[in-house]
Chain A
Amino acid sequence: MKPFSYVRPADADAAIAAAGVQGASFLAGGTTLIDLMRLEVMRPDALVDLGPLPLTAIERHGDGLQIGAMARNSDVAVHPVVVARYPLLAQALLAGASPQVRNMATVGGNLLQRTRCPYFRDLAAPCNKRAPGSGCSAVEGYTRSHAVLGTSASCIATHPSDMCVALAALDAIVHTRRGETTRTIPITALHTLPGDHPEVEHVLEHGELITHVELPASPFAAHARYIKVRDRAAFAFALAAAAVGLDVVGGRIRSARVALGGVATKPWRALEAEQLLAGQAPSRAVFERAAHAALAGARPQRDNAFKITLARRTIVRALELAWGVP
């Protein structure tokens, strides 16, 4: 691990100031950052430890909920309001990683989780995300775990987060601060597609601090489900995951949410599927049409065409369970 300077700031202002220096990085739970620093995939010159900052509150905010950036995944997952009104988020969090990692990982850190693409983690392999312009080892490599949506010629790495998929379905709003400037970013606008610059993964400026995540009131609590399909039943990354919510009034779907994980280069909102579901009476046929629409733009690699079928079936199953089909 490369030597780094360590800053334990007195408050958020000091943290933002310290992290504004070139080469500095915020340290939240450390489950991604320390791992990648040990591999020397990430080599920050300075770490600004957010651990002592009071950014852990989970509190009602109007009709919605406000979750501090340093709230631990395990705390969010069992918070009574989250369980009752945002079950998608609770289910997604509990599907992620291990109890140990969930006790460490934070909401803010999880928003910026790095890919698990094995070539990104392998210093010997060219990787446009790690070393811009060096090429993509995955496109010519073993692609079973890679993305089928949102890919480019430069990068096909999958976004690994479960939490972000649920937040995408819940229209979460990310609140940030840098200096005196605060801003709000819809979760769907936080992450960027790889395009020609896979090293850029989000729209945050250097030193911009995520302070909290806002969840607006959700009409989907009664009919919501997160399903994650993976190689083993625990502590594995998704091959395909779906977060769905249905707002059903008078036997018809008033609005729907469908977000996908494990198959895309960013947390993926399937707007085509949502539009197709709106106004329909819930049925397997409708769910299947929506699932097809969600994957219409999928581009398989050599080893991951199965993900298209798997993702469709995952969406249908999630919609069925959300609606109440046993």
Chain B
Amino acid sequence: MARLEAPITVGMVAPSFVLHDDAGRPLSSSEARGRPWVLAFARSWRPGGDDPALRAELRGLGAILFIASDTGVWSFRPDDDLELSAAGSARLTRELAELRARWGVPSGEDGVFVIDGDGAVRFALAPSGDLAGALAASLAAAGRALLGLPPRPGITRRDWAVMSLVAGFGVVALHGCRPRAPDRPGEPPPPLSAAAGSDIDVVLRINGQDRRLRIDARVSLLDALRERLALTGTRKGCDHGQCGACTVLRDGRPVNACLTLAVAAQGAEITTIEGLARGDQLHPVQAAFITHDAFQCGYCTSGQILSAVALLRDGRARTDDEVRQQMSGNICRCGAYPNIVAAIQAARKEVV
């Protein structure tokens, strides 16, 4: 399996591109115009626009497909025929090399990126086998994820989170890779004045990665995480700062993401539940919550865990009563409190 070191990460706004054929005609991501689009890098590609499975998936998505192959470039629309093909010019070869570099797909490897209608990268996949054979299945999986549908009946939502990454045919999710150096301080955001209703370019630093967004000032950090960056581990409960389901760490301290404007979170280091584990290695607090059965329905759990991580790092709350007081911003309607306290106390010795 190829694991790509891509500077383009899931959740980022996709950069636009333009390629030119031999006659100088452009092939541009701007053709998508608010529709989802797919950018596939291929070692070699035979035009296969008559592939009915692929066409069906594109039609279902309403997506436009761009294929950038070393042997040519193509775009497919769900309702049209092959748009353009071109090969061989020195200009195109140079443009392809730049495009591969920009998207982090080395020459000689395949890669598939799915971009939603808002221009955010929602999937980044590195097919291990033949791209042509994998593409329809990849689009099928990506498309259903974009629509928020399970892959097929009988599969749970949790399974789907995994399925959507592996897509059933041996690909590896490129969850961003390349974290920034942890000691690099957050840069203060520059002065800004944005009119009501206008979109603002925002860079959020989440789980060690910079995420670029274009959002209205009203968007909460919670909605930015869930709706724009596909980081749905952070939960929306009351949306008024009273339940703690949306707890994230801001510069290491728990805050309510629902009461934080995303635009006002620039320059801060945000940690969500997705940022705690190291690969397959759960954070000790996550592991302790499982060991001690510290949840029932699980809806409040990510917020509970982040508050608990901060509590243990802070170190001041030590007795059970102090732990309860310090965890009071996280409500559990299942009433798992005794086991939550037990999990936190058990994880204490493992957390530095």
User: Measuring CB to CB, which residues of chain A are less than 8 angstroms from any residue of chain B?
Assistant: 1, 3-10, 14, 18, 27, 30-31, 34-35, 38-39, 45-47, 49, 51-52, 74, 78, 97-101, 103-104, 233-235
Q: List, in ascending order, chain B residues with CB within 8 A of A103's CB.
A: 250, 253-255
User: Which single member of B191, B259, B326 contacts A8 (CB below 8 Å)?
Assistant: B191
Q: List, in ascending order, chain B residues with CB within 8 A of A52's CB.
A: 188-189, 267
Q: List, in ascending order, chain B residues with CB within 8 A of A47's CB.
A: 217, 261
Chain A at the B interface: SS class: mixed
Q: List, in ascending order, chain A residues with CB within 8 A of B241's CB.
A: 31, 35, 98, 100-101
Q: List, in ascending order, chain A residues with CB within 8 A of B190's CB.
A: 8
Specify which of B250, B253, B263, B316 lies most central, judged by the most chain A CB atoms within 10 Å of its CB.
Answer: B253
Q: List, in ascending order, chain B residues with CB within 8 A of A49's CB.
A: 261, 263-264
Contact B197 A3 (CB under 8 A): yes
Known: A7-B192, A100-B247. A35 touches B217 (CB 8 A): no
User: Which single member of A18, A45, A99 contacts B254 (CB below 8 Å)?
Assistant: A99
Complex A-B, nearest 4 residue pairs according to Cβ-Cβ distance, in ascending order? A98-B329, A234-B328, A6-B217, A3-B196
Contact A3 B326 (CB under 8 A): no
Asked if B5 lies at the interface with its beta carbon under 8 angstroms from chain A, I say no
Having A27-B264, A30-B259, A46-B196, one finds 18 other A-B pairs with CB under 8 Å, namely: A5-B217, A6-B192, A6-B193, A6-B194, A8-B263, A8-B264, A9-B191, A34-B259, A34-B260, A45-B196, A47-B217, A49-B263, A49-B264, A97-B329, A101-B241, A101-B256, A104-B260, A235-B242
Closest-CB distance, B111 to chain A (whole angstroms): 36
Between-chain CB contacts (< 8 Å), 24 pairs:
A3-B217, A3-B218, A4-B196, A6-B193, A8-B190, A8-B192, A8-B193, A9-B191, A10-B191, A14-B191, A30-B259, A30-B260, A30-B264, A34-B220, A34-B261, A35-B259, A47-B261, A49-B261, A49-B263, A99-B328, A100-B241, A100-B307, A101-B329, A233-B325
Known: A47-B217, A99-B254, A100-B307. A6 touches B259 (CB 8 A): no
Asked if B147 lies at the interface with its beta carbon under 8 angstroms from chain A, I say no
Contact B256 A104 (CB under 8 A): yes
Q: List, in ascending order, chain B residues with CB within 8 A of A97's CB.
A: 329
Q: Which of B295-328 contact A (CB under 8 A)?
A: 307, 310, 316, 324-328
Residue of B nearest to A34 (CB): B259
Asked if B244 lies at the interface with its beta carbon under 8 angstroms from chain A, I say yes
Closest-CB distance, B272 to chain A (whole angstroms): 14
User: Which single member of B239, B247, B316, B325 contacts A38 (CB below 8 Å)?
Assistant: B239
Determine the distance from Cα of A123 to Cα of B194 in the docked complex, in whole angstroms.
28
Specify which of A38, A46, A51, A100 lies most central, judged by the most chain B CB atoms within 10 Å of its CB.
Answer: A100
Closest-CB distance, A88 to chain B (whole angstroms): 19
Closest-CB distance, A11 to chain B (whole angstroms): 9
Q: List, in ascending order, chain B residues with CB within 8 A of A46's CB.
A: 196
